[in-house]
Amino acid sequence: MKLAIITGISGQDGAYLAKLLLDKGYKVLGVIRPNRNRELSGLNFLEIEEKVDLKELDMLNQKAVEKLVEEYQPNEFYNLAAQSSVGVSFKKPVATFEFNTISVINILEAIRLKSPETKYYQASSSEMFGNIGVENLPLKESVLFNPASPYGISKASAHWITVNYREAYGIKACCGILFNHESCLRGENFVIKKIIRTALEIKSGKTDVLELGNLTVQRDWGYAPKFVEAMWLMLQQDDFKEYLICSGEVTSLRNIAENVFEKLELDFDKHVKVEQSLMRNVELDIIYGNNSKAKKELGWDYDLSLNELIDTLIKDEKEYMEWKVKKVN
């Protein structure tokens, strides 16, 4: 039986990846931060909390990370833990940069010293590309980074240290450069989750208004449960390389929000207000990618259209909201 360690198992991708690996027969060890007293709702919702082992660990403590890797000798190590919000990174740049980079070096050092055969996946982000010119669109793996937020800069550093450990020490490490991917397990402060949840609350009369920031941004949004499949596929290859994982379809935030309201038969103009305080310090106007390398070399079979994605997210969010109500009662 293969053993996989997942950091960030309490987050969106961690929960879906844990489910995928358990279904494939892996033993899964999830790393959570010490004294974490919030419930693990993602694992709970997917009904796998009892099926994974959990270990509290301070990932900034190098000795503790080394001990973990030495003790478990994992076949695969998926590093998904990060301060993952661009907006929060402007408010907490030091904590974002420190955690998102030092934790990565600690793991890579631990693998180099204690378990060099362990395969390592690093969660890189399209935010590393930052303000690229439109002539570079759709993005490919070869486009240079020009990050425009503390989050993007931290992820770019983590990305390059991962590549460096592969090149310098032969560590079986690679980075998945993932574009925005959504699900009902997305953090409450992320915009697609907020739009769908609030629209459903407006529909049920629980609230009346949805406040949003910049609606003109254009992005490439995908479905999280399909994106974690690409992470696993990347660690099943003989060569360890970087891949863009994205839907390949681009649209504006306004279009997504209007679509959600239309599908729920709600009046967009009546309920949606643009709130200046939700605007970012620096905003990427448009970013989308080309997923053909991942499809061709990994056999990754992403084929959800934007329309199907929105339908799926609304359906999943309804289920999740019902599950939460049942849990409380």
**Main-chain phi, psi angles of 313, to 5 degrees:** -65, -40
String of DSSP letters for 265-320: T--HHHHEEE-GGGS-SS---B--B--HHIIIII-------HHHHHHHHHHHHHHH
Which among 125, 149, 157, 247 is annotated as catalytic?
125
Q: Does 289 bind ligand NAP (CB under 6 A)?
A: no
Q: Let me know if 47 is a catalytic residue.
A: no
The site for ligand NAP, by CB under 6 A, has a size of 21
Q: Let me know if 308 is a catalytic residue.
A: no
Q: Let me know if 322 is a catalytic residue.
A: no
Minimum distance between the CB of residue 191 and ligand NAP, rounded to whole angstroms?
11
Q: Does 11 bind ligand NAP (CB under 6 A)?
A: yes
Please choose, out of 9-17, 167-175, 203-211, 246-254, the segment that lies near ligand NAP by the rule CB under 6 A.
9-17
- Closest to 141 in 3D by CA, of 284, 291, 298, 301: 291
String of DSSP letters for 149-170: SHHHHHHHHHHHHHHHHHHHH-
Q: Does 29 bind ligand NAP (CB under 6 A)?
A: no
Residues 143-202 that bind ligand NAP (CB under 6 A): 178, 180-181, 187
Alpha-carbon span 271 to 38, nearest angstrom? 32
Q: Does 84 bind ligand NAP (CB under 6 A)?
A: yes
- The residues pairing with 175 across neighbouring beta strands, listed in sequence order, are 122
- Closest to 158 in 3D by CA, of 100, 113, 108: 100
Q: Which string of x and - marks every residue 42-81 that binds ligand NAP (by CB under 6 A)? A: -----------------x--------------------xx
Binding site for ligand NAP (CB under 6 A): 8, 10-14, 33, 36, 59, 80-84, 99, 123, 125, 178, 180-181, 187
The residues assigned a catalytic role are 125, 127, 151
